[in-house]
Amino acid sequence: MELTTVWFLLIGVLWAGYFLLEGFDFGVGILLPVVGKDDTSRRLAINTIGPVWDANEVWVLVAGGATFAAFPEWYATLFSGFFLPLLIILVALIVRGLAFEYRGKRPGAAWKRGWDRAIFWGSLIPAILWGVAFGNILRGVPIDANHEYVGGFFNLLNPYALLGGLTTLSLFTLHGAVFLALKTDGPMREQAGRLAARLALVAVPVAAAFLIWTGLTHEDGWGIALSVLAALALIGAVLATRARREGWAFTATGATILLAVAALFVTLFPNVMPSTLDAANSLTVTNASSTPYTLKVMTWVAVCFTPIVLIYQGWTYWVFRKRLTLSDIPASGAH
Partner 1 sequence: MDALDLSRWQFGITTVYHFIFVPLTIGLSALVAGLQTAWVRTGKEHYLRATKFWGKLFLINFAIGVVTGIVQEFQFGMNWSAYSRFVGDIFGAPLAIEGLLAFFLESTFLGLWIFGWDRLPKKIHLASIWMVALGTTLSAYFILAANSWMQHPVGWTMGDGRAELTSIGAVLTNSTTLVTFPHTITACFLTGGAMLLAVSAWHLRRNNQPEVFKPSMRLGAWVVLIAGLGVLITGDIQARVMTEQQPMKMAAAEALYETTGSASFSLFTIGSLDGDEELYSVRIPSLLSFMATGSPDGEVEGINNVQSEYEQAYGPGDYRPIVPVTYWSFRLMIGFGGLAMLIAAAALWFTRGDRRPRSRWLWIAAVSTVAMPLLANSFGWIFTEMGRQPWTVFGLFTTAESGSPSVSAGEAATGLIVLTVLYGVLAVIEFGLFLKYAKAGAPEIPAPTTDEADKPLAFAY
Residue ranges in 55-94 that form contacts with partner 1 under rule CB under 8 A? 55, 57-58, 61-62, 64-73, 75-81, 83-84, 86-87, 90-91, 93-94
Dihedral pair phi/psi, residue 215, rounded to 5°: -60, -45
Question: CB-wise, 55 or 235, nearer to partner 1?
Answer: 55
Question: CB-wise, 47 or 191, nearer to partner 1?
Answer: 47
Q: Could you tell me the smallest distance in angstroms from the CB atom of residue 38 to partner 1?
A: 15
Our finding on whether 318 is near partner 1 (CB under 8 A) is no
Question: CB-wise, 224 or 273, nearer to partner 1?
Answer: 273
The 3-state DSSP class for residue 276 equals coil
* Separation CA 275–CA 321 (nearest Å): 45
Question: CB-wise, 103 or 139, nearer to partner 1?
Answer: 103
Our finding on whether 33 is near partner 1 (CB under 8 A) is no
Cα distances (angstroms) measured from residue 137 to each of 88, 144, 169, 199, 229: 18, 15, 17, 27, 22
Contact with partner 1 (CB under 8 A) among 146, 216, 280, 307: 146
Q: Could you tell me the smallest distance in angstroms from the CB atom of residue 213 to partner 1?
A: 27
Our finding on whether 103 is near partner 1 (CB under 8 A) is yes
> C-alpha dihedral over 275, 277, 278, 284, to 10 degrees?
-10
Q: Could you tell me the smallest distance in angstroms from the CB atom of residue 263 to partner 1?
A: 25
Question: CB-wise, 104 or 135, nearer to partner 1?
Answer: 104
Our finding on whether 47 is near partner 1 (CB under 8 A) is yes
Number of helical (H) and strand (E) elements in the chain, helices listed first: 11, 2
* Separation CA 277–CA 65 (nearest Å): 28
234, 204 Cβ separation under 8 angstroms: yes
Contact with partner 1 (CB under 8 A) among 158, 251, 294, 299: 294
Question: CB-wise, 79 or 269, nearer to partner 1?
Answer: 79
Question: CB-wise, 71 or 210, nearer to partner 1?
Answer: 71
Please give the residues from 147 up to 176 whose contact with partner 1 meets the rule CB under 8 A. 147-150, 153
Render the burial of 243-261: b for 16+ CB within 10 Å, e for the rest: eeebebbbbbbbbbbbbbb
Q: Could you tell me the smallest distance in angstroms from the CB atom of residue 321 to partner 1?
A: 10
Amino acid at 56: N
290, 71 Cβ separation under 8 angstroms: yes
The closest of 114, 92, 94 to 104, measured between CA atoms, is: 114
Our finding on whether 305 is near partner 1 (CB under 8 A) is yes
Cα distances (angstroms) measured from residue 70 to each of 7, 59, 222: 7, 16, 24
Q: Could you tell me the smallest distance in angstroms from the CB atom of residue 202 to partner 1?
A: 29
* Separation CA 219–CA 222 (nearest Å): 9
Our finding on whether 2 is near partner 1 (CB under 8 A) is no
**Total interface residues for partner 1 by CB under 8 A:** 78
Our finding on whether 145 is near partner 1 (CB under 8 A) is no
Contact with partner 1 (CB under 8 A) among 41, 167, 284, 290: 290
The closest of 233, 234, 216 to 224, measured between CA atoms, is: 216
Q: Could you tell me the smallest distance in angstroms from the CB atom of residue 294 to partner 1?
A: 5
Stretch in the footprint of partner 1 (CB under 8 A) among 197-205, 225-233, 238-246, 292-300: 292-300
